[in-house]
Amino acid sequence: MGWKSVLGSFLLFILIFGTLGMVFVYFFFPLNPIDFVSSTPLNSNFSLNSSIPAEMQFYNNMRYADSQISYKIDESCNLKRKDDMTRAFEMLREKTILSFYPVSNDEKISINCSDEVVVNKKYFIAGEGGPTEIIRTPNFDIILKGKILLLSDSKCEKPNVALHELLHALGFDHSRNRYNILYNISDCKQILGEDIPAAINALYLIPSKADLAFNDVKANMHSRYLDINTTIQNQGLKDAPASKIIIYADNKKVKEQSLEEIKVGYEITMMFQNILISQLNVEEITVEIEASFDEIEKNNNKIKLKIKE
């Protein structure tokens, strides 16, 4: 073998070794890390069809998960208070999309009675009511449990006291209008106007479904490897069954991962590290929640990330 052949073999070896070395460095060492930022608004969710004044409720958008609400009237209530409470449920059923049904246990609204005299300054308190358990989400304050305590028989022809406390249990605060049923001092001339039923209908027109949405997404590429951290929250009204999350690099699927059930108001954080990307250049990362069940909103199931400038 001549020296030219030896030199040629040596140069070929150097070329192959150098190429392999560059490939190794390119794939396994963090050269020029790239950060991606969201180009999609987070929590781009639905809005209520009508504006409900904040002062109407204890918190904004308070409601039960479902428009069909269970209740239980305790045996401590006499016939008069039981009848008033039943009539109050019927009045709201006639004016709104709500319905109420009695159960023997695990009720949403508990009604109890007492003959104890309670005085606030110079006024006798006829009843008490309000939510006792809630879950707060970006869209709703979901009432899990409510209670009503009737302390005296109503003197009115209509069940004003029972209706007043029922509206408190539905999340509505006192009114400044002394002719409104929710005024803090009871009077038989007070009425249920149109504003409260309208607010109830606006709240409960939103279907009782889950709603998965991204709370936060961060992405970073180092060499050909992608790292993603994301937080997903159930912002809906019902628990979200199992689903999955899919990651795309320029519309090419690079990762798929199952998501476990997420209860109402809860969130999970997922961390993906060292996802190998075959493309030489990546301009856009897409993270998508794929759910086979109905949701309040599907548009918030996908988020796109662009290279940070």
Q: Mean pLDDT over residues 52-63, rounded? A: 88
Q: Tens digits of per-residue pLDDT, 103-136?
A: 999 999 999 998 764 545 444 455 789 999 999 9
Instruction: Kindly list the structural domains of the chain, giving each domain's residue range(s) and its CATH number in brackets, ordered by start.
Output: 30-45+211-307 (2.60.40.10), 54-204 (3.40.390.10)
- Length of the chain measured in residues: 309
Task: Report whether 127 contacts 165 (CB < 8 A).
Answer: yes
Residue 123 has what pLDDT?
43
pLDDT value of residue 198:
94
Q: What is the pLDDT of residue 47?
A: 60
Beta pairing class for 68-73 and 109-113: parallel
Contact, 113 vs 83, CB < 8 A? no
Q: Is 202:52 a contact under the CB 8 Å cutoff?
A: yes
pLDDT number for residue 30:
47
Q: Which residues contact 260 (CB under 8 A, 6 or more apart)?
A: 242, 268
Rounded CA separation 272/168 (Å): 46
Confidence of residue 48 (pLDDT cuts 50, 70, 90): low
**Distance (Å, rounded) from C-alpha 28 to C-alpha 292?**
37
Instruction: Mention every residue, 6+ apart, whose C-beta is less than 8 A from residue 271.
Output: 227, 228, 229
